[in-house]
Chains A and B, each alone.
Chain A
Amino acid sequence: PPQNVSVLPLLSCSQFTFRDYVHVNTSINAFKKKPTSVVSSGQILQVVRAANGAQYIIQPQQQMVLQQQVLPQMQPGGVQAPVIQQVLTPLQGGLPQHTGVIIQPQQIVLTGNKVPQNTQPQPQAQASQQQPQQQQASQQPPMVLQVDGAGDTSSEEDEEEEDVYDEDEDEDKEKNGGEDGQVEEEPLNSGDDVSDEEDQELFDTENVVVCQYDKIHRSKNKWKFHLKDGIMNLNGRDYVFSKAIGDAEW
């Protein structure tokens, strides 16, 4: 029998055969107001198991809404379901190991495993919220209530597939580059560098003039050059000048 939990006559005893007490490590504001049944690390809820295997959690207060808590089982990338979900830790030889509770207004729904045969009241319970591994050889596999949709393993598989796909793409690119020498992408990339190439070719002319300038004038797009003391190499021939005047349009 529980030691420090008040008995709550909310349900008739004829409908239920067993009572379990579960120690839940949650931060429920509704339970904080309760003077008793406050353990150092959490609350103690009274769980009643019916004959058909269904389990009910009896809350001392009528407030059925629990605080939404972040569960480690929730996917980090998944969308937090608006439904309040609370996971209860199983008892040794008592409740099933995975028990999910969806608290809805004016309604308590408890989903979990079927009731094992050997049930004994256990005042002590595990404080951790994480669902521990199956300690005993339970008859049925645990059923975990998942609100955000099933997709844990599939997402990982997709990621792996995406990585592989990227590698394949890279390999294809390399193969194409080695075979043809010019893939469709290369001309595209080289097309972006046309301006740079033109600049490089533009300044690598053989006809060069080195000189000094007296004055460089510009009017709109009309340029005038006043040069002096210059040496020119035009068409392979050398020329010199002491003064040169030029006009050009830009």
Chain B
Amino acid sequence: MAYQLYRNTTLGNSLQESLDELIQGSLNTYRFCDNVWTFVLNDVEFREVTDLVKVDKVKIVACDGKNTGSNAPE
């Protein structure tokens, strides 16, 4: 049972803000090996509801999140 009581807290807001985060930039390189994506973006804008972070270069490593993401037994 999960309560939604804490959503309007700082922590809750932060977590909610992290839900929708927009990434904009130019893709420099992309790599897909062993079901792992690796991207290198240039001039990327991480836009949140409240904050905006700009970086010249960022590396994104993403694993497959379909069915095999969960490690906990329960």
Question: Could you tell me which A residues sit within 8 Å of B by CB distance?
Answer: 202-203, 205, 207-214, 216, 223, 225, 227-230, 232, 234-235, 237, 239-250
Contact = CB atoms under 8 A, between A and B. Distances in A.
Interface of B: 15, 18-30, 32, 37, 39-41, 44, 46, 53, 55, 57-66, 69
A212 B19 contact: no
Given A239-B18, A241-B18, A205 B58 contact: yes
A13 B60 CA distance: 107
27 contacts: A203-B40, A205-B58, A207-B58, A208-B58, A208-B60, A209-B60, A211-B60, A212-B63, A212-B69, A216-B32, A216-B37, A216-B62, A227-B62, A230-B62, A234-B55, A239-B53, A241-B19, A242-B18, A242-B19, A243-B18, A244-B22, A245-B22, A246-B22, A247-B24, A249-B26, A249-B27, A250-B27
Kindly name the residue among B20, B40, B58 whose own CB sees the greatest number of chain A CB atoms within 10 A: B58
Given A230-B62, A235-B53, A240-B18, 8 more contacts: A207-B58, A207-B59, A208-B58, A209-B60, A241-B18, A242-B15, A248-B26, A248-B39
- For the residues of A in contact with B, the DSSP-based class is strand
Contact of A243 (B20, B29, B46, B62): B20
B18 A246 contact: no
Nearest to A221: B27
Nearest to B23: A246
Contacts of A240: 15, 18
Contacts of A239: 18, 46, 53
